[in-house]
Amino acid sequence: MSLNERDARFVEQRRLLVRRWRVVGWALFAAIAAVVGFLFLRSPMLVSPWEVAGRIRTDSVPPTTLQIMSVMLPLTMLGCFVLLAIVVAFQFAAAANERRLLAIIDSLLARPGGG
């Protein structure tokens, strides 16, 4: 029961990705938390709807800021949808890799003496 060179390389790449993901994933979470925290401290109107609502209630938002926000909202929403589409595309790629890995495992199990 052995793999051809291409499949063995693929399985090794998967092992490396799995090992590295734990560090990369937590680093990404930490970076996101740091950016959100920084924005809460420096520019709360970018991340806190309560701050925006309070300033609108007290009429302390300059009209130019409201104009900029009204222009940026559609762009932000479109950006979120593009990001969501990218995440879905990455999931399709991940599913294709998993199908390939399962095919490799199935081919090994189907060989005589493979399981």
| Alpha carbon distance 73, 81 (integer Å) | 12
Residue 115 covered by a domain: no
Residue 96 covered by a domain: yes
Task: Note the pLDDT of residue 113.
Answer: 65
Structural domain including 11 reads: 5-110
Residue 104 covered by a domain: yes
Residue 47 covered by a domain: yes
Tally of domains in the chain: 1
Of these ranges, 1-10, 15-24, 33-42, the one predicted with the greatest mean pLDDT is 33-42
CA distances for 3 relative to 10, 19, 101, angstroms: 10, 21, 12
Burial string for 52-77 (b: 16+ CB within 10 Å, else e) reads: beebeeeeeeeeeeeeeeeeeeeeee
Task: Note the pLDDT of residue 1.
Answer: 60
Q: Which two tokens stand for residue 67?
A: 């104009």
Mean pLDDT within 2-11: 84
| Alpha carbon distance 56, 59 (integer Å) | 5
Residue 41 covered by a domain: yes
Q: Using the predicted structure, report yes or no on whether residue 115 has a pLDDT greater than 60.
A: no
